[in-house]
Structure formats: C-alpha cells, structure tokens
Amino acid sequence: MKRTIKILTALLLIAIFAMPESEAQTRAAIKSGSAKKREESNNSLSVRAQNLYEKEALSPANTPWNRIIYRSLDLRKEKNLPLYFPEESTEEQENLFRLIMKLLAEGKITVYEYLDGREIFTEAYQADVKETLDRFHILYEESSSQAGRKVKFTIDPSDVPANEVLSYYIKEKWVFDQQNSGVKSEIEALCPILHRTDDFGGEAVKYPMFWVKYTDIRPYLAQQYIMTSNENNIRSYTFDDYFKLRMFEGEIYKTMNLRNMSLMQLYPEQAAQDSARNEIEKQLQNFEKNLWVKTPEEIAKEKAAKEDKSSTEQVSEKKTKEEKENIAPTRSARGTESAKTTTTKTKSSSAKSSSAKSSSKTKSSSSKSSAPVRSVKSTK
C-alpha cells in the first residue's frame, strides 16, 4: 500500500513539473505560427502558393539528353508586345520589367550578376541591389525593416526605366524526359536589357542588367494577368502562361557549346548565322520525331503523300511539255509561211523584172525596125 502511494505521488510530481514545459512549447508554436503568418503577409505570397509552383527537378537518370538554348526577345515585335505594354502601371496590369523591379526593391526575389558567356546562380554571384541601382542610374530611397536586418528600397514609378528595356535574354533548357517519354522546354532565367543612347545620340547600346531565375519569379508571374491580343481585350493569360505556352518570338543567339561562343563569334557572316539558327530550330523540332519507330499508319501516310507529290510533279511536267510542243509548231509554221511569202515575193519580183526586160527588148527592137520606115516616109 505504501509503495503504491509513493508511485502515485511521484507521477503527480512529474506531471506538475512537466506542465510548464508543455505550456511553453505550445506558446512557442503559437508564436512561430503568428510570425509565419506575418511573414506571409509581408511577402504577399502564401507558402501554399509558393509550394504550388515549386517543381521537382528531374533526375539525371531520367534525362539522357538536354540542350541549353539562349534567345533574344525583341519587344518591338508584335508577339512580344505583352511584355512591354503598358509602359505606365495601371490598377489591373503592369509590364514585366516594372514587376521585376518592384519585387527586387522589396527584397522578394534574388538577382544574379550578368557574366558574359556563363551564368552562375549561387550565393557568391548574387548581385547587390544597391550597387545594381547605382550602376544603371536608377534613383531610390533606402529604408530598413522593423527588425533592422533587411534593407528595402523605394523606387518612384517615374524613375523606373521601363521604356528603355526593349529586349530580354532568356535561357531555356530542352529536356528529353525518359520517364514520361517526351521532350519539353523550360525557361531557366530572364535577363532584362537596357537600350541607352549617349548625350550625342546615335545607335543605342545594349546593357544586360542581371539574371533572375524563373523559378523564383514564377509564383508572381502566375498572378499577373495580361492582354495578349489586340482583337481580344480579355486578360485570359498570365505571364506564366505566356512563357509556358511559348507565345513569344525569340531569336537564337547562342547554344551551349564546348568553346562557349555565340553564333556571332562562330559565324561572322549574317547569312551563315541565319542558316545556323534555322538548322538548330529544325533539330529541336525533329528530335522527338526521330526517337521513335514510325507506325504503319504514319508510313502509309508518308508514302501516299510522296506519291501525290510525284503525280502532281509529273502532271505539271507533262503540261509544260505540251505547252512547249504547242508553241513550237506555230512558230515553225509562221516561219515557213514567211519563208514562202518571201520566196513568192522574190519570184514575182524576178518575174516582173524579166517581163520588164523582155518588154524593153521588144520595144527597142520594134523601134529599131520602124525607124527606117519612118525615115523613108519622111524622105518621100
């Protein structure tokens, strides 16, 4: 009996001493939860939204082939206009560069230095925001957060050089996913480019600003709806849809190669660059087709298409031959007719000349024979 009482008192004492610790843990959990909510409200993007757009990286075992392509997007082309307009922000919409600068100033995204010919997205190569703004002469106001750890920058909308960002570089990866048996393209990073002229005018100089990873900015792009057509003014697509559906028009200026050289460096002539771009585009389009054995239906379709093509070519050749044959006799007939007319003319002219000669001869002979008679008569 005494032993049971001792055990019960010991358990009671343990419960009494353990209560404050559990209460402290619950308070800490509540505090951390509220801090998390405050952080989410400050970032204006919930953890759920961030997780929604996080993509699991493909395993190297499932990607036996990939290719890195660099494109230049000229915002003056019609397909790329949704990235440039509107120049001034509205309540419903703002262009891509203004959105990037807003997120950068608020410390919501990280940007990386633009290194000519290589991109390293590590902490060591993160671009300093203040230095970046100073280098491109963008005015700002510096302010620290309540905790004093994070520095924020306030940029007036009129000081954002959105009208000077007339192109972008994009880095995309074409991957063959062996698990899903398909080829897909992914945008890896974006780089806004300033086009600035000096005080004396002349041709604008391009200044690549920085790289921003697409995975970092994608959750914000998916919330911004844009207008993609002049004929339909409903904003039914987001920036993320625009890039995912490849609605842009980009010109290849580089592919990852062993010498790490651009097409301009590899091919100095413009014609050679254009042919190289066309060849790369064909390779990307035909890569997936060349992986698989064709089905009998596809083979039959190709055979029928070839036969139709050959038959149409034969018919066209036959028509051209017939046209040529029809034209040739008329020309020869005209030539023979002209030849005949010329011969008849020459014959008639020769006949006329011969008759004229004979008549002249007869006249002369008659005149000779009649002359003595006239003389005789005159003498008489």
Whether residue 243 contacts residue 68, with contact meaning beta carbons closer than 8 Å, is answered with: no
pLDDT of res. 122: 94
Helices (H), 63-118: 96-105
Please name the amino acid found at residue 185: S
pLDDT band at 148 (very low <50, low <70, confident <90, very high): low
Q: Are 168 and 209 in contact (CB under 8 A)?
A: no
Residue 142 near residue 222, CB atoms below 8 Å: no
Tokens of 71: 């494109």
For the residues 78-87, what does the mean pLDDT come to?
95
Cα–Cα nearest to 251, from 238, 270, 234: 270
Can you give the pLDDT at residue 138? 96
Q: Is the pLDDT of residue 380 over 50?
A: no
Residue 154 predicted with pLDDT over 90: yes
> Which tens digit of pLDDT belongs to each residue from 159-208?
999 999 999 999 999 998 877 778 889 999 999 999 999 878 788 999 99
DSSP-derived letter for residue 88 is S
Candidate ranges 15-19, 182-186, 319-323, 350-354; pick with highest mean pLDDT: 182-186
State the number of CA atoms in the 13 A half-sphere of 295 facing the CB.
3
Say if residue 349's pLDDT is above 80.
Answer: no
The percentage of residues in the chain with a pLDDT greater than 90, rounded to a whole number, is 47
> 341-377 burial string, b = 16+ CB within 10 Å, else e?
eeeeeeeeeeeeeeeeeeeeeeeeeeeeeeeeeeeee
Say if CB 217 and CB 232 are below 8 A apart: no
- Mean residue pLDDT of the chain comes to 80
Whether pLDDT at 253 is above 70: yes
**How confident is the model over 52-70, as a mean pLDDT?**
74
Burial class (CB in 10 A: 0-12, 13-18, 19+), 209: buried
Min mean pLDDT across 14-18, 163-167, 351-355 is at 351-355
What is the predicted pLDDT for the residue at 23? 54
Residue 329, preceding peptide bond in cis (omega within 30° of 0): no
Instruction: Give the pLDDT score at 40.
Output: 46
Burial of 288 (0-12, 13-18, 19+ CB in 10 A): middle
d(CA 336, CA 342): 10
Alpha-carbon distance of 187 to 179, in angstroms, equals 20
Alpha-carbon separation of residue 137 from 162, 203, 370, 377 (angstroms): 13, 20, 126, 134
pLDDT (tens digit per residue) in 21-36: 555 455 545 445 554 4
Burial class of residue 156 in the structure, from the number of CB atoms within 10 Å of its CB (0-12 exposed, 13-18 middle, 19+ buried) = exposed
The better pLDDT of the pair 57, 358 is held by 57
